[in-house]
Chain A
Amino acid sequence: MIPSQASIIAGRVIRQLIRDRRTIVLIVVVPLVVMTLIGLSFPEGNVLNYIAPALLATLALFFSFLLTGISFLRERSQGTMERLMASPVSRLDIVVGYLFGFFIFALTQTLIILLFTIYVLGVHYYGDLWQIFVFQVVVITVAVNLGIFISTFARNEFQMVQFIPLIILPQVFLCGVIWPMEQMPDYLQWLSAILPLTYAVDGLRNIMLTGKSLLDVGFELSVLISFALIISILAAITLRRGTAG
């Protein structure tokens, strides 16, 4: 169970986003449009089958990071975060509250992408659907925490958007999404070893392409959970009262 103060914040975040109808429509429609375009651009089913796990991991990371980063930044720029920081709520409650609040919407987007990929684009996969879903939940948790953490370094939406090519794009190139990591120079392989998307792509490929279970991808899961924990602690640290603003 999440702490009561965190659940109050989570409830408020959810209520606030639900009342923003345009955002809700975009949360649903954008992944559908993107997946349709991807499906149309890969008429050869086998290629799509192979690339689907990496795409699912990348899109979950990208959409969740973007949604969380921008929303959290808005809290800071509108002054509501300062007000919250002046209240008796702990930093951890704030991070956990936002994590759960944004998580619901990130989960919805990921579920839409996953179901669309499998049932509309007809991607073949091995392993259990629920295991794919659980793995994706961990990927989203990393992405939501990353969005909260990175947004503390941006002062406005424009700066936040600049973090996408810095945080997300390198992962697309370095984490085995487009070409095998083994083909990259050693120093880039070392770099890829500290990027969460590497483990997200590896784990999801193992489940979807070879039918492995969550237990089999325990290493990748553990690394991703560690990423989520470390980033959430860093996010809580950067929110400290004494340096607000």
Chain B
Amino acid sequence: MAEKEFTGLAAEVNEVSFSYNNIKAVDELSLQVPTGISFGLLGPNGAGKTTLIRLLVGLLRPRAGSVQILGQTPSRKTAHLIGYMPQLHSLYAELSVMQNVDFFARIYRLTNRHERAQQVEEAIKLVNMWQRRQDPVLKLSGGMRQRVSLACAIVHNPPLLLLDEPTVGLDPELRVTFWEHFASLTKQGVTLIISSHTMDDAAHCDRLAFMRNGKVIAQGTPVELRQATGQPEASLEDAFLYFIHRED
């Protein structure tokens, strides 16, 4: 089947469903993510955020509906377009920071040694881990591992980043640092799709999708979602609760 023409969207999800052993994780979900923005998938645990991200990466195939990233169906051929940061740190604990990031650079076919060294250095510096580059990952704290994991995801300069709960377990200072990284990436034209269950993260996103029980219950900019409640002082948390009650 011919690939659908690129619509200018970073991600397009149409009526997608996915079940694990008859339990619907994603239920006829539709979503459109424009390029060059940070897009937050917000919802409680079990809302289907991780499943949706894995569908976008191509690690799972939808049982129904279609998924497109940058105009193509996710597959091994589109893998170089994506930087994926899973929920687990997913690093090689015995190897150093540098060896981990370099490994993923090589896996993503950065074959020119000089260019690769430069990109590895840039990625490690971007997450402020250059001073610890020779340390094995097993000697790093959880927050530091998150930073190294992010460096592994961005080292090949992908146009689309899929980050599954990247700020979970981070202290407030580090969380701010992460969002500064994300802002600098979107300024460079990179699209970020970030899952989270905290409203602190939601406030940093350009657009949001509130998720619950495998469905998107609302989407828009943080301002639009707050305004939809009809209360000028409403927080994003209030907005989330408003849409939940409206669904019920």
Contacts and interface: CB of A to CB of B under 8 A. Distances in A.
Interface of A: 5, 8-9, 12, 15-17, 19-20, 78-80, 82-90, 241-245
Interface of B: 54, 57-61, 75-77, 79-80, 82, 84, 86-95, 99, 103-104, 106-109, 136, 152
A86 B107 contact: no
Q: Which of A78, A86, A89 has the most CB of B within 10 A?
A: A86
B76 A88 contact: yes
B181 to A, nearest CB: 19
B76 A78 contact: no
A76 B192 CA distance: 26
Contacts of A88: 76-77, 79-80, 107-109
Contacts of B95: 12, 15-16, 19
B108 A79 contact: no
A94 B79 CA distance: 15
Given A12-B95, A85-B59, A245 B79 contact: no
Contact of A12 (B59, B61, B92): B92
25 contacts: A8-B107, A12-B95, A12-B99, A15-B99, A16-B92, A16-B94, A16-B95, A19-B95, A78-B89, A78-B91, A78-B93, A79-B86, A79-B90, A82-B88, A85-B59, A86-B84, A86-B86, A87-B79, A87-B108, A242-B58, A242-B60, A243-B60, A244-B54, A244-B59, A245-B59
A87 B86 contact: no
Contacts of A19: 94-95, 136
Given A15-B95, A19-B95, A19-B136, A82 B90 contact: yes
A86 B94 contact: no
A76 B64 CA distance: 27
B57 A79 contact: no
B107 A89 contact: yes
A82 B86 contact: yes
Contacts of B84: 83, 86
Contacts of B93: 78
Given A80-B91, A88-B107, 6 more contacts: A79-B87, A80-B90, A80-B92, A83-B90, A86-B58, A86-B86
Contacts of A80: 90-92
Contacts of A242: 58-61
A40 to B, nearest CB: 35
